[in-house]
A and B are shown apart, each in its own frame.
Chain A
Amino acid sequence: GESVGLHLPTLSVQEGDNSIINCAYSNSASDYFIWYKQESGKGPQFIIDIRSNMDKRQGQRVTVLLNKTVKHLSLQIAATQPGDSAVYFCAENPSSGTYKYIFGTGTRLKVLA
């Protein structure tokens, strides 16, 4: 089922290569960031998070980088697999003490066999 905008950026990556998905956030006061993966017809699924006092965090095959100077977040996926094909959203928490996570527009990742 559809879950994203008609003009969603798409990243096509060869299976086995590394993927880098970028996100620009809007609020310099945001203190917490999350990456979500959404497969067709499903709800978003948590991948990894990072707090603003860090600039890098690693998970299993994924790394999130945070550059507060330019308000930029990236998600790196190592050895991309067909199962990684999905739409990826970054989310920011723009106001400390609230829970109003704001999601970006998303990037579609297509893994080519």
Chain B
Amino acid sequence: DARVTQTPRHKVTEMGQEVTMRCQPILGHNTVFWYRQTMMQGLELLAYFRNRAPLDDSGMPKDRFSAEMPDATLATLKIQPSEPRDSAVYFCASGLVRTRGARGNTGELFFGEGSRLTVL
């Protein structure tokens, strides 16, 4: 049963510490997304990759957040230094997103269970 795997599931850290979240996308998927979910903002797109290349990270605070895909089986989201306002659930999703000519994209996204981050 293919699924997106995220680690850690829960992380409590102190302000100023580095946090790294990891994601193993579903094998064969060409697009990986990082979303953040909070009670007030809902689901926000932070960054996404296609075929491991970063396509857009405009939703991410650049000074402290970084996202990478060192290989096809691993995506990482790093926060350094972390702040209390970063407390949220971070979701990774992957999909086999296709473009059909001028008609645009189709593609179901498969989400992981999320990494719940609490920054004290």
Contacts and interface: CB of A to CB of B under 8 A. Distances in A.
A97 B99 contact: yes
- Most chain B beta carbons < 10 A, residue from A6, A44, A89, A106: A44
B12 interface: no
B113 to A, nearest CB: 5
Given A96-B104, A97-B99, A43 B56 contact: no
B34 interface: no
A100 B44 CA distance: 10
Contacts of B110: 46
B39 A102 contact: no
Interface residues of B, number: 35
Interface in A55-95: 89, 93
Chain A facing B: main interface SS: loop
A1 B102 CA distance: 40
A99 B104 CA distance: 9
B30 to A, nearest CB: 10
Contact of B39 (A2, A42, A98): A2
A99 B43 contact: no
Contact of B116 (A1, A31, A101, A105): A1
Given A43-B93, A99-B50, A32 B106 contact: yes
Interface residues of A, number: 32
Given A3-B89, A43-B112, A99-B107, A89 B48 contact: no
Given A43-B4, A99-B50, 19 more contacts: A1-B89, A5-B39, A5-B41, A6-B40, A42-B113, A43-B91, A43-B111, A44-B43, A44-B109, A46-B110, A97-B105, A98-B55, A99-B33, A100-B45, A100-B48, A100-B56, A102-B45, A103-B43, A106-B42
24 contacts: A2-B39, A3-B37, A4-B39, A4-B42, A5-B39, A5-B41, A32-B104, A32-B106, A44-B43, A46-B109, A49-B106, A49-B108, A51-B104, A51-B106, A53-B103, A93-B104, A96-B104, A98-B56, A99-B55, A100-B48, A101-B45, A102-B45, A105-B42, A106-B42
Interface of A: 1-6, 31-32, 34, 41-46, 49, 51-53, 89, 93, 96-106
